[in-house]
């Protein structure tokens, strides 16, 4: 009998998905629990596995959109014996690969005996020019791109360029364009960002933090921390802890607007913006106020790895009352992060850079970080936004306050 492979129900708000990649092809034998296909929804990438062993017949092609419950393929489990043939094809493929000709060696200029550069080789091939007919003026008689251009224009060798000469630009290369459809995830990200800009009164306030104390803690304890917990001690756990304590003192930053009501949250589900292979995603660390620094670092590390592998689930990216984004890992010195609706605020971390500052009347060099809080002015006033950032600054510059909760 045939077993239908259907688009699974991956989340309450997900109605459809796009077939991102088939791992197998029609006629292949699959075993139970083999990964068949990667589906891309507007929130996550989902892998679908075989519920039965048998021979696969693909119904929906790669790139097609499928609704929840729609049949994507069928497995004929009456032909299980055909599985033996699958392994037999591997030696043939290996043999074919072994007979492939070696890659061509770089072209050599007959005049100089020197290899041609990629740019020269490309222009000679595109112009159907024999390199042996071109006089090289480069080092050791190498042919330059200008030599080939001069040859095409009918001259012998290019004349020396003076300050008053302007050489005409010559287009080289394919100068091609390509058009690709946006993934569902990228389309959803775009919709949410535009929605945030259109529906919220977004402002951003800034402050700067002396990172000396946190950096000293990391330097003193990173080896023992890694040895005990099996994970590195990063900055994110400090900022999440600081955010939770600051949110307790400014509850409107942890709330959002629902119609004409303000919803306050007495729990702290912190979204962590991480970059995956298909775009920015925000998995949520739930009940962050109950977690230790080690547990926070483990959660952040796990989310980051699975975001790159496309393994995050819809539930893991649903909800969240406040978001922390670390653009500093990409070298950003300052930015204005965009809200993650329906949340009312997002904290942006940035690159640590040594700068001169004044401490007790003396100019000293300290590792400084700019931090930004983008917020919805409909629910959060300037006083609260500035006060919130000051609390973050105090907790990071004096981490003992986090331990004591003061």
| Active-site annotation, residues | 377, 381
3-state secondary structure of 15: coil
How far is 130 from 108, CA to CA, in rounded Å?
11
In this structure, what token pair is assigned to residue 278? 């298909």
For the chain, the straight-line distance linking the first and the last C-alpha, in angstroms and rounded, comes to 67
Write out the H or E segment, with its range, that includes residue 76: strand 71-76
Strand intervals (E) in 181-315 = 202-210, 256-258, 261-263, 270-276, 279-281, 284-285
Cα atoms found within 13 Å of the Cα of residue 150, Cβ hemisphere only = 18
3-state secondary structure of 370: strand
Which of 337, 331, 396 is CA-nearest to residue 366?
396
Which of 249, 212, 236, 247 is CA-nearest to residue 349?
236
In contact, 62 and 19? CB cutoff 8 Å: yes
Q: What is the DSSP code (8-state) at residue 3? A: E
Strand intervals (E) in 163-293 = 202-210, 256-258, 261-263, 270-276, 279-281, 284-285
Q: Which residue has the tokens 């409107």?
A: 252
How far is 41 from 43, CA to CA, in rounded Å?
5
Sign of torsion over alpha carbons 361, 363, 368, 370: positive
Write out the H or E segment, with its range, that includes residue 368: strand 362-376
Is 405 buried (19+), middle (13-18) or exposed (0-12) by CB count in 10 A?
exposed
3-state secondary structure of 146: helix
């Amino acid at each position: 009998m045939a077993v239908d492979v259907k688009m699974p129900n991956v989340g309450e708000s997900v109605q459809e998905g796009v077939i991102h990649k088939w791992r197998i092809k029609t006629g292949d034998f699959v075993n139970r629990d083999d990964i068949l296909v990667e589906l891309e929804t507007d929130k996550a990438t989902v892998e679908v596995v075989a519920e039965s062993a048998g021979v696969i017949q693909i119904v929906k092609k790669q790139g097609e959109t499928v609704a929840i419950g729609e049949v994507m393929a069928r497995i004929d489990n009456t032909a299980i014996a055909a599985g033996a043939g699958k392994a037999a094809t591997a030696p043939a493929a290996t043999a074919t690969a072994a007979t492939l000709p070696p890659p061509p060696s770089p072209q050599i200029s007959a005049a100089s005996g020197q290899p041609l550069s990629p740019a020269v080789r490309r222009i000679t091939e595109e112009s159907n020019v024999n390199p042996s007919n071109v006089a090289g003026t480069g080092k050791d008689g190498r042919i330059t791109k200008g030599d080939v251009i001069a040859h095409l224009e009918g001259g012998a060798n290019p004349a020396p360029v003076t300050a008053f000469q302007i050489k005409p630009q010559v287009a080289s290369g394919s100068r091609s364009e390509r058009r690709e459809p946006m993934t569902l995830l990228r389309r959803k990200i775009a919709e949410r960002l535009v929605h945030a800009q259109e529906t919220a009164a977004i402002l951003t306030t800034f402050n700067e933090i002396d990172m000396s104390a946190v950096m000293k803690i990391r330097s003193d304890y990173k080896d023992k921390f890694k040895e005990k917990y099996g994970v590195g001690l990063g900055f994110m756990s400090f900022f999440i802890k600081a955010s939770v304590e600051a949110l307790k003192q400014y509850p409107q930053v942890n709330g959002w607007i629902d119609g004409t009501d303000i919803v306050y949250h007495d729990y702290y589900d912190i979204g962590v913006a991480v970059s995956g292979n298909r775009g920015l995603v925000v998995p949520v660390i739930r009940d962050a106020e109950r977690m230790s620094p080690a547990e926070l670092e483990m959660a952040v590390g796990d989310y980051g790895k699975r975001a790159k592998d496309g393994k995050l689930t819809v539930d893991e990216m649903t909800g969240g009352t406040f978001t922390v984004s670390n653009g500093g890992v990409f070298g950003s010195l300052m930015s204005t992060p965009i809200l993650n609706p329906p949340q009312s605020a997002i904290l942006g971390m940035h690159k640590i850079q040594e700068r001169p500052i004044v401490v007790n009347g003396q100019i000293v060099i300290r590792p400084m970080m700019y931090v930004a809080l983008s917020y919805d002015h409909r629910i959060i006033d300037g006083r609260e936004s500035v006060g919130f950032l000051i609390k973050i600054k105090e907790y990071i510059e004096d981490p003992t306050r986090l331990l004591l909760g003061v």
